[in-house]
Amino acid sequence: MRMRIGARLFDGPGPFVMGVVNATPDSFSDGGRFLERDAAVAHALRLADEGADLVDVGGESTRPGAPPVAAEEELRRVVPVIAALRARGFTLPISVDTWKARVAREALAAGADLVNDVTGLADPDMGGVVAAAGVPVVLQHMRGTFADMASRAAYGDVVAEVGAELRAALARAEAAGIPRDRVVLDPGIGFAKDARHSLELLARIGELRTPGCPLLVGPSRKSFIGKITGAPAAERLPGTLAAVTACVLAGVELVRVHDVAAARQAADVAAAIRGAARAAGPL
Ligand code: HH2
């Protein structure tokens, strides 16, 4: 990939690690520990120390059944965190995890460098906000709303349908004036997908490759790991690392994770194995 995100040029195959900073009181995995601005800032600094390439600050839980968050409340959660990170000279690119155009606009004004939209531009104003700011965007696949997405997990060929819907989101982005070389695509593990769908997407992730657009995958602590292993969210790091490894071996450029130090090591070793296979070449 070759994409400028904030002050940094993301150049090469990666893998690049996006660390999750939840500024939500009801997040399924972090349980509100980072609601307070200072705790979220400290968490972002720790993720940077652990080897994150960028951090993703979000103020609305997407967990099925989580209550919707009004834009005002979401702004109260994320903008002070982004502003405080910039005020203290945080050098990593900051992504804002929001589907609301207004939140994206104010987060970008406070110093965010990228918009991570799990709805793939569901808000009709989002494309214009991203295009006007000249920043990159992550378009993630989902269907329906956070409340009803589980009931929308019905596919014939999940990879083909997610691919077609991601291409439609990309077309919406381009129509709004976002050049394709500023778009990252994400299959949306767990978003309107059951465990079987998430696994098939991970197994066939290469089929989602779209010329000019890097891929991002967020498997961290997700319910498909619980479905396979029975482990609760807080005990899904080994399963997360298996998924990160599979993604990197398949050529995914960016992974979104909570446990950056562990994922950094898994991703780097998987990338080294991938590189060694290329170096060896055919016999
Ligand atoms: N997953 C979550 C949130 N944002 N963004 C992208 N691009 N891809 C993902 O897979 C993705 C995402 C859900 O995880 P998390 O934020 O950790 O939990 P919560 O929904 O409680 O905020």
* Residues tagged active-site: 222, 256
Is residue 240 lining ligand 1, measured as CB closer than 6 Å?
no
For 174, the enclosing helix (H) or strand (E) is: helix 158-175
What pLDDT is stored for residue 29 in this prediction? 53
Beta strands in 98-190 (DSSP E): 114-117, 137-140, 183-186
Q: What percent of the chain has pLDDT over 90?
A: 90
Three-state DSSP state, 31: coil
Stretch 86-110: mean pLDDT, rounded? Answer: 98
**pTM of the full predicted structure?**
0.95
**CB-count burial class (<10 Å; 0-12, 13-18, 19+) for 258:** buried
Is the Cβ–Cβ distance between 114 and 92 less than 8 Å?
A: no
**Integer Cα distance of 147 and 191 in angstroms:** 11
Report CA(191)–ligand 1 centroid distance (Å).
9
Q: Is the pLDDT of residue 26 over 90?
A: no
Report CA(173)–ligand 1 centroid distance (Å).
21
Is residue 93 lining ligand 1, measured as CB closer than 6 Å?
no
Which of 16, 62, 258 has the most ligand 1 atoms within 8 A of CB, as the residue to mutate?
A: 62
Report CA(239)–ligand 1 centroid distance (Å).
16
What pLDDT is stored for residue 179 in this prediction? 98
Stretch 21-34: mean pLDDT, rounded? Answer: 62
Q: Of all protein residues, whose CA lies closest to atom 20 belonging to ligand 1?
A: 62
Q: Binning pLDDT at 50, 70 and 90, where does residue 248 land?
A: very high
Stretch 54-81: mean pLDDT, rounded? Answer: 92
**Integer Cα distance of 244 and 55 in angstroms:** 17
**Integer Cα distance of 51 and 143 in angstroms:** 33
Kindly report the average pLDDT of the chain as a whole number. Answer: 94
**Integer Cα distance of 236 and 225 in angstroms:** 7
Is residue 30 lining ligand 1, measured as CB closer than 6 Å?
no
pLDDT tens readout for residues 151-168: 999 999 999 999 999 999
